[in-house]
Amino acid sequence: MRPRPPLAEPAESSGDALGRMKRVALGLLCGAALLYAVASALQAQHPAWGYVAAFSEAAMVGAIADWFAVVALFRHPLGLPIPHTAIIPSNKDRIGAKLAGFICNNFLGTEQVLAKLRGFDAAGRLAAWLARPESAGKLGEWGVLVARYALGAFDDARVRDFLGRIATAGHSLKAYPTPWTVRMKRGSLPSSPSFRRIRATCESTTRPPA
């Protein structure tokens, strides 16, 4: 008996990944703060500790600045109503209108679309595709599949009956009455000269040869 393969571990969800990244970032910030405290305490013993303190201080300032900048885009940091924060929720309508105008003016304008259509050259691309040998082989395979499907459709009783009725009737309007021909037979069409000529033409085309 073959052993069962091990079950695949479930993929990490986006919420779990975000929480893990937050914990990693917070741990690095705490590490930079601890390093800054140690380097500041030992700075008097050796001048190198001053460089370590400056490095850790810059790391803390950069981390806090990045956190504030990202959070301020979407909400108020720490829930405080600090001015110029929660930028996207406060200006989403204006941002959407500006973005829509930018896309329409630079990508969906009449001149831009016409320029793209002129440069597309569909006929040239199709000719280049057909000129490749592998494309010709694919086209032949597709043609064979279409022909096979069409021939298979003729092997249906309803299709054979329909084609047989068309062949025997000779496309006669009498064999396939329509509302137009029914009204002509009943004489319910207007008696204008135009309709009389149309009726005479239809009857002459459907009259069997002598």
Digit-coded pLDDT (tens) for 106-125: 888 788 888 888 888 888 88
CA 60 to CA 65: how far, in whole Å?
8
**Confidence at residue 200, expressed as pLDDT on a 0 to 100 scale:** 61
For 5-28, give one letter per residue: b (16+ CB within 10 A) or e: eeeeeeeeeeeeeeeeeeeeeeee
**Confidence at residue 121, expressed as pLDDT on a 0 to 100 scale:** 80
pTM score = 0.43
Checking if the pLDDT of 73 tops 80, the result is yes
**Confidence at residue 55, expressed as pLDDT on a 0 to 100 scale:** 94
pLDDT, tens digit, for every residue of 4-61? Answer: 555 545 556 777 888 899 899 999 999 999 999 999 999 889 889 999 999 999 999 9
Residues with Cβ within 8 Å of residue 35, at least 6 apart in sequence: 52, 56
**Confidence at residue 173, expressed as pLDDT on a 0 to 100 scale:** 45
pLDDT, tens digit, for every residue of 143-199? Answer: 888 888 877 777 777 777 777 777 676 555 444 455 545 454 455 444 555 556 655
